[in-house]
Amino acid sequence: MLSPTSETTSWPTHEVSPLDKATLAKLDAWWRAANYLSVGQIYLLDNPLLRQPLTRDHIKPRLLGHWGTTPGLNFIYAHLNRVIQERSLNTIYITGPGHGGPGMVANAYLDGTYSEVYSNIEQNENGVRKLFRQFSFPGGIPSHASPELPGSIHEGGELGYALSHAYGAAFDNPNLLVAAVVGDGEAETGPLATSWHSNKFVNPLEDGVVLPILHLNGYKIANPTLLARIPESELLDLMRGYGHTPYIVSGGFDGEDPALVHARMAETLDQVLNQIAQIKADAAAGTLEGRPAWPMIILRTPKGWTCPKEIDGKPAEDSWRSHQVPLADARDTPAHTKVLNDWLLSYRPEELFTEEGAPVELATALAPEGDLRMSANPHANGGILRKPLKLRDFRDYAVDVPSPGATITEATRQLGVWLTDVIRDNPTNFRIFGPDETASNRLAPPVYDATDKQWNAEYIPSDEHLARAGRVMEMLSEHQCQGWLEGYLLTGRHGLFTSYEAFIHIVDSMFNQHAKWLKVTREIPWRKPISSLNYLLSSHVWRQDHNGTSHQDPGFIDHVVNKKADVVRVYLPFDTNTLLSTYDHCLRSVDYVNVVVAGKQPTANWLTMDQAVEHCTRGLGLLEWAGTETAGQEPDVVLAAAGDVPTLEVLAAASLLRQYVPSLKVRVVNVVDLMRLQSEGEHPHGLSDREYDAIFTADKPVIFAYHGYPWLIHRLTYRRHGHDKMHVRGYKEEGTTTTPFDMVMLNDLDRFHLVIDVLDRVPGLAAREAGLRQDMQDARLDARAYTRSHGEDHPDVAGWTWGSAAAGATPTARFDDTGNDN
Question: Contact with a second copy (CB under 8 A): which of 718, 768, 803, 819?
Answer: 718
Nearest approach, Cβ of residue 60 and a second copy (Å): 5
Of 10, 678, 652, 88, the C-alpha closest to 280 is 10
Whichever of 140 and 378 has its CB closer to a second copy, that residue is: 140
Burial 285-322 (b: 16+ CB within 10 A, else e): eeebeebbbbbbbbbbbbbbbbbbeebeeebbbbbbbb
Task: Decide: helix, strand or coil at residue 363.
Answer: helix
Question: Contact with a second copy (CB under 8 A): which of 5, 52, 55, 223?
Answer: 223
Told to check if 120 binds a second copy by CB under 8 A, we report no
Told to check if 348 binds a second copy by CB under 8 A, we report no
Nearest approach, Cβ of residue 514 and a second copy (Å): 11
Q: How far apart are CA 765 and CA 652, in angstroms?
A: 19
Told to check if 704 binds a second copy by CB under 8 A, we report no
Question: Contact with a second copy (CB under 8 A): which of 562, 630, 663, 820?
Answer: 562
Nearest approach, Cβ of residue 25 and a second copy (Å): 34
93 membership: H or E segment, kind and range: strand 90-95
Told to check if 193 binds a second copy by CB under 8 A, we report yes
CB 117 within 8 A of CB 141: no
Of 400, 799, 392, the C-alpha closest to 577 is 400
Whichever of 79 and 321 has its CB closer to a second copy, that residue is: 321
Told to check if 443 binds a second copy by CB under 8 A, we report no
Told to check if 818 binds a second copy by CB under 8 A, we report no
- Applying CB under 8 A, what is the total number of residues that bind a second copy? 121
Amino acid at 183: G
Question: Contact with a second copy (CB under 8 A): which of 6, 630, 663, 822?
Answer: 822
Of the ranges 28-36, 48-56, 140-148, 334-342, which one interacts with a second copy (CB under 8 A)?
A: 140-148
Told to check if 289 binds a second copy by CB under 8 A, we report no
**Residue 367 to residues 91, 93, 113, 175, 693: CA-CA distances in angstroms?**
13, 14, 10, 20, 61
Show Cβ contacts of residue 14 under 8 Å, excluding neighbours closer than 6 positions: 86, 87, 270, 273, 274
Binding mask 465-494 for a second copy (x = CB under 8 A): -x-------xxxxxxx--------------
Told to check if 248 binds a second copy by CB under 8 A, we report no
Binding mask 412-441 for a second copy (x = CB under 8 A): ------------------------xxxxx-
The runs of H, that is alpha helices, within 298-378 are 334-345, 349-352, 361-364
Told to check if 237 binds a second copy by CB under 8 A, we report yes
Question: Contact with a second copy (CB under 8 A): which of 267, 558, 634, 689?
Answer: 558
Which residues inside 755-814 make contact with a second copy, applying CB under 8 A?
784, 787-788, 790-792
Q: How many residues does the chain have?
A: 822
Whichever of 9 and 143 has its CB closer to a second copy, that residue is: 143
Of 567, 505, 559, the C-alpha closest to 147 is 567
Nearest approach, Cβ of residue 29 and a second copy (Å): 30
Whichever of 5 and 738 has its CB closer to a second copy, that residue is: 738
Question: Contact with a second copy (CB under 8 A): which of 51, 229, 348, 390?
Answer: 229
Measured CA angle at 181 (ends 178, 182), to 5 deg: 125
Question: Contact with a second copy (CB under 8 A): which of 22, 457, 694, 770?
Answer: 457
CB 203 within 8 A of CB 2: yes
Whichever of 195 and 603 has its CB closer to a second copy, that residue is: 195
Told to check if 102 binds a second copy by CB under 8 A, we report no
Whichever of 366 and 702 has its CB closer to a second copy, that residue is: 702
CB 451 within 8 A of CB 195: no
Told to check if 553 binds a second copy by CB under 8 A, we report yes
What's the per-residue H, E or C state across 25-59?
Answer: HHHHHHHHHHHHHHHHHHHECCCCCCCCCCCHHHE
Dihedral of CA 135/140/146/152: which sign?
A: negative
Question: Contact with a second copy (CB under 8 A): which of 50, 80, 159, 330?
Answer: 159
Show Cβ contacts of residue 701 under 8 Å, excluding neighbours closer than 6 positions: 636, 637, 638, 725, 727, 758, 761, 762
Whichever of 479 and 667 has its CB closer to a second copy, that residue is: 479
What are the start-end ranges of the E strands in 443-524?
A: 453-454, 466-467, 472-474, 494-500
Told to check if 453 binds a second copy by CB under 8 A, we report yes
Which residues inside 53-72 make contact with a second copy, applying CB under 8 A?
60-62, 64
Nearest approach, Cβ of residue 576 and a second copy (Å): 22
First to last CA, the chain: 59
Which residues inside 492-551 make contact with a second copy, applying CB under 8 A?
502-503, 505-506, 508-509, 512-513, 516, 519-520, 523, 546-551
Q: How many CA atoms lie less than 13 Å away from 767 in the CB half-sphere?
A: 2
CB 532 within 8 A of CB 497: no
